[in-house]
Amino acid sequence: MDEKIKKISTGISGLDDMLYGGLPLKSQVIVAGGPGAGKTLLSFEYLYRNAKAGIPSTFIALEESADAIIRNAKEVFTTFTDIDDLIESNMLIIDGREPSIKLREQSDSDAYSFGNIVSDIESVITDSKSRCIAVDSISLLRLMMGNDISYRRSLLALTSNLRRLNVTSLLTVEIPSSDRDKLRFEPEFFIFDGIIVLYQNSEVDKRTLTAEIVKMRGSNHSNMLAPYEITNSGFKIYTLTQDGEM
């Protein structure tokens, strides 16, 4: 089955190896982790690499301004010297309309406000003709919704719209604990096609960062934990070769 699935490269060192070639085309994938794990940066690099490859890509920030996203990426990924060029050529779109602010201004109705967010996301994707998308972070939606049922319905509506638009998406989400032994998934996470988790395991004098592909619907993938680091030239995820070497 895996051989017949079309995939899109993430362009991220080691991640495509874990995914056996890349993300399944038109899949909607959660990137989960705690603060500081690098969810936003990994999502940005996915878009940056594909934009460089000539694939229109859009970053939609629900909790930060576009300027903050760009500034943080430049500060960390200092070798990504063509970010401004990609933005100017409209290959890389950073949505700066801050829908989280708009929803507070426009209506007291959570359902109405969420509908505006989905509509905004759809407009950005349609106008830019983007094929790769990142949404950061869908944790905001839980705060917006009055109850768990509304939250799950909102996520279903969002994923349905993204699938209809034929995009391949990474959507970040905060989890209470990024220690693997304490990991707990909310039931609604499983409406997504895939789940990538970035762990921060505490040791005596440092944190160990590891990545895991928990699921990727319809596609084979590595089941191994892989250590990673965030460098000035992007993520480095250290995977095992067939010979058992890093």
Residue 152: pLDDT band by 50, 70, 90 thresholds? confident
Range name among 40-44, 57-61, 110-114 with the lowest pLDDT average: 110-114
Q: Is 171 helix (H, G, I), strand (E, B) or coil?
A: strand
Q: What is the identity of the amino acid at 47?
A: L
What is the largest distance, in Å, between two alpha-carbon atoms of the chain?
Answer: 58
Q: Which residues make Cβ contacts (< 8 Å) with residue 90, sequence separation at least 6? A: 56, 128
3-class secondary structure, 100: helix
Confidence of residue 101 (pLDDT cuts 50, 70, 90): low
pLDDT at 118 over 60: yes
Give the side-chain half-sphere CA count within 13 A for 198. Answer: 26
Whether the ω angle into residue 178 lies within 30 degrees of 0, i.e. cis, is: no
pLDDT digits (tens, 9 = 90+) for 62-76: 888 899 999 999 999
Q: Tell me which amino acid residue 228 is.
A: Y
Give mean pLDDT, residues 107-133.
Answer: 79
Distance of CA 61 to the CA centre of its chain: 11
Question: What does the pLDDT average to over 114-137?
Answer: 88
Average pLDDT over residues 11-39: 94
| Residue 19 near residue 5, CB atoms below 8 Å | no
Q: What integer best gives the mean pLDDT of the chain?
A: 85
pLDDT at 110 over 60: no
Would you say residue 37 has pLDDT above 70? yes
Which residues on neighbouring strands pair with residue 174, listed in sequence order?
Answer: 33
* Whether 14 contacts 238, CB under 8 Å: yes
In this structure, of 100-114, 132-146, 203-217, the range with the lowest mean pLDDT score is: 100-114
Q: Which residue has the higher pLDDT, 74 or 103?
A: 74
- pLDDT (0 to 100) of residue 184: 67
Could you confirm whether domain 2-237 is CATH 3.40.50.2300?
A: no
- Return the pLDDT at 105: 52
pLDDT at residue 45 in the model: 98
Q: The tokens of 150 are what?
A: 């509304």
Phi then psi for residue 204, to 5 deg, are -60, -50
Binned at pLDDT 50, 70 and 90, residue 241 comes out as very low
Per-residue pLDDT reduced to its tens digit, 211-239: 999 999 989 999 999 999 999 999 999 99
pLDDT value at residue 30? 95
Strands 57-61 and 92-95: parallel
